A and B are shown apart, each in its own frame.
Chain A
Amino acid sequence: MSAYVEPSLEVKKKGLKSRPVIATIILIGGIIGLLLAIGISVSIGAAEIDVRTVWSAVFQYDSTLVPHQIIQETRLPRVIGAALVGSSLAVSGSIMQGMTRNPLADPGLLGLNAGAAFMLAICFAFFPGLPYIYIILFAFVGAALGAGLVFGVGSLAKGGLTPMRLVLAGAAVTALLVALSEGIAIYYRINQDLAFWNAGGVSGARWENIKIMASWVILAILAAIVLSKSITLLSLGEEIAVGLGQKTGVIKLFGTIIILILAGSAVSVVGAVGFVGLVIPHITRFLVGYDYRWIIPCSAVLGGGLVVLADLAARMVNPPQETPIGALIAVIGVPFFLYLTRKGGQPL
């Protein structure tokens, strides 16, 4: 653990410490693990389906067989959705942490998720039956709203944007937006649609939504990988990045757009799930070093794995009821967050 107590100092002293070998292992192993987890997750459920049937359902789909239908229509979109949500939250968290050098940055903690959820509540209340292709745009706007409020309040303060103050502002903005969403939900009697979804769950994922969401997410993650070199430089400090000829303003703009797209898409499928974007980037950085060209793809894989496993656990803890994923991940996320705050939130 001591390897990253003072990352910024460490980096300045020893130069960029990156572990490409470990990163490659994580990438390959992570993808295999992810596929395995997806396979297990698809085969486990109310109707037990063995892995061979899963295989044939995916690659030799036969619409007359009931198990094939279950897999294609309900389980597969759900698992793919979980993986995409995990990847997008983890990648948006790592970009946020890298760009702002704030170790406590997370789309959930800084109000992006609550903002997206708020806009979705508005969407369901005022435009019921809107196609998902537009709903996801609302989610992007909402994420921008949440982020704007938090960073606005944070930068108004005299001491400037300290990590801790941003988190406090995030907590208050989240409280406000959640209260407003709940108020809207109760007023328009859509609270039953929203209740479980507020706590986080991928049970409602459907193919047509997942396809739209996947195209946004994959595009954004690819863009993030293109941008990753510049993010590494930004994570060393604004002055260093400028000194090395980076147009920091442009990078930050594109980074922000990517973050908003990723957080918004994730929330539009799963609801407000926090802490994935906090925990995964830290673990990834600990494992692969400080090069975002490795951190971003690795955290995408690990984040996807975490949410797929959380979804699996959510179905297994108390069948036939589902435990909200958000609650399960908070159980891991909260101690981790406490550990980070104890270290005082030094800049990355």
Chain B
Amino acid sequence: MIDKQFISSYQQNKKKRKVYTILIIILLIFISFMISMNTGYIRLSPLQLLETLIGMGTEQQNLILFEFRLPRIVISVLVGMGLALAGCVLQGVSGNPLADPGILGINSGAGLAVVLFISFFPSTSDVPVMFLPVLAFIGAGVTAIIIYALSYKRGEGISPTRLMLTGVAIAAGISAAMIILTLRLTPDNYQFVAVWLAGSIWGSNWMFVLSLLPWLLILIPYIFIKARVLNTLNLGEVTATGLGVNIEKERLFLLAAAVALAGSSVSVSGGIGFIGLIAPHLARQLVGGKHQFVIPAAAALGALLLLVADTIGRWFIQPSEIPAGIVVAVIGAPYFLYLLAKSKA
């Protein structure tokens, strides 16, 4: 009896600690949010910030905050969450600790679709923007299928390294195709591709927030619900089947969700890699391996990482800026190398 009580109280303590960890991350997001609101060419004191937020700012302050900075911050948070969860699901489903929508080439597929679309419909009138995530999803989905098919080998199935190599190659090929295709159009489009490839948060107005939001509102809860399935998949195929999980079906749906998350996120943010790699890893270090905790922690960490990266990028050299994707790569690539050095053959 005493033992049981002890264990359950111990478990509850552990659970509490995990919840606290997630709350601390959310607090950090809030702090970065305040700092980020204050970062830019025109500085606003915290008091001015508060005034503007509760609706008492001058016209100029309103314009800066609500039309320029706030949508961009919201986009960073949403995209960070989307990419982190996409990576989390990819890692969970494939059992490959190095999986990331950027490295696997899924992002570049989405990018190609977006760039082609922008090239043909340069005006950002209402309908095309809402349409972007759909296109990105299609592009990402087709790319994912191609990568999967190319790395599948009869008798051996999918080996994690071959999957990654195929992804790297496809990403290189798609970037090249993007450059060639858009050079044929106009110099402006070439500039857009360059910005997209560098991973700058380019879609920074409320229209883009609106186009991205429905996707996240549907997909994030879906992944939350499937946390248990991800846990069982981690135990291996045999165990998962034994526990009554329809592996093939669940895998397919989860992969589709990950592709949709990555595609829709990237469609407004540009090709940002490594968030989907780092966030789930850090999350597992902080809250353990259970997906009920990993998923919210990874989402929060992804949002935090991208928000901080974008803020650093804007703060570093005013008035111009370093694309968030570059900042993320500088942090993320060494982390990937570290994981690679740790991984077994």
- Interface residues, chain A, with chain B CB atoms under 8 Å away: 149, 153, 156-160, 162, 164-165, 167-169, 171-173, 175-176, 178-180, 182-183, 186-187, 189, 195, 199, 274, 317-318, 321, 323-324, 326-328, 330-331, 333-335, 337-338, 341-342, 344
Contact = CB atoms under 8 A, between A and B. Distances in A.
Given A331-B180, A338-B169, A162 B340 contact: no
Interface string B328-345: 011011101100111111
Interface stretch (B158-166, B257-265, B292-300): B158-166
Contact of B176 (A179, A186, A330, A342): A330
5 contacts: A157-B342, A172-B337, A175-B274, A176-B337, A186-B321
Contact of B162 (A164, A178, A333): A164
A173 B332 CA distance: 10
Contacts of A317: 180, 183-184
B338 to A, nearest CB: 8
Contact of B184 (A157, A318, A328): A318
Nearest to B329: A179
B239 to A, nearest CB: 26
A165 B180 contact: no
A162 B340 CA distance: 12
A175 B273 contact: yes
A327 B340 CA distance: 28
A344 to B, nearest CB: 8
B317 interface: yes
A180 B330 contact: yes
Contact of B161 (A165, A326, A335): A165
Contacts of B344: 158-159
Contact of B340 (A160, A169, A187): A169
Given A157-B341, A168-B161, A182-B198, A334 B166 contact: no
B23 interface: no
B172 interface: yes
B168 interface: yes
Contacts of A338: 150, 166, 169-170
Contacts of A331: 173, 176-177, 180
B194 interface: yes
A328 B180 contact: yes
Contacts of B164: 164, 168
Interface of B: 98, 103, 150, 153, 161-162, 164-166, 168-170, 172-173, 175-177, 179-180, 183-184, 187, 194, 198, 273-274, 316-317, 320-323, 325-327, 329-330, 332-334, 336-337, 340-345
A334 B173 contact: yes
Contacts of B336: 172, 175
B309 to A, nearest CB: 11
Contacts of A342: 150, 153, 162
Contacts of A178: 329
Contacts of A321: 183, 187
Contacts of A175: 273-274, 329, 332-333, 336
Contacts of A164: 161-162, 164-165
B165 to A, nearest CB: 5
Contacts of A173: 333, 337
Top 5 nearest A-B pairs (CB, nearest first) are: A159-B345, A176-B333, A334-B173, A330-B176, A179-B329
A165 B161 CA distance: 8
Contacts of A337: 165, 169
B176 A326 contact: yes
Given A168-B168, A323-B179, A334-B170, A183 B330 contact: yes
A127 to B, nearest CB: 20
A158 B322 contact: no
Contacts of A183: 322, 326-327, 330
B345 to A, nearest CB: 2
B172 A334 contact: yes
A24 B317 CA distance: 57
B154 to A, nearest CB: 11
Contacts of B330: 176, 179-180, 183
Contacts of B345: 157-160, 162, 165
Contact of B334 (A157, A176, A328): A176
A77 B263 CA distance: 44
Contacts of A327: 175-177, 179-180
A274 B173 CA distance: 11
A274 B322 CA distance: 25
A18 to B, nearest CB: 31
A186 to B, nearest CB: 5
Contacts of B177: 327, 331
A341 B166 contact: yes
B317 A186 contact: yes
Nearest to A324: B179
B170 A199 contact: no
Given A164-B165, A168-B98, A173-B333, A182 B326 contact: yes
A48 B116 CA distance: 33
A334 B179 contact: no
B314 to A, nearest CB: 12
Contacts of B334: 172, 176
B289 to A, nearest CB: 21
A167 to B, nearest CB: 6
Contacts of A167: 165, 168
A334 B176 contact: yes
A341 B343 CA distance: 20
Nearest to B161: A164
A167 B168 CA distance: 9
A179 B332 CA distance: 11
Given A179-B333, A342-B150, A334 B316 contact: no
A176 B98 contact: no
A159 B342 CA distance: 9
Contacts of B103: 171
A9 B128 CA distance: 57
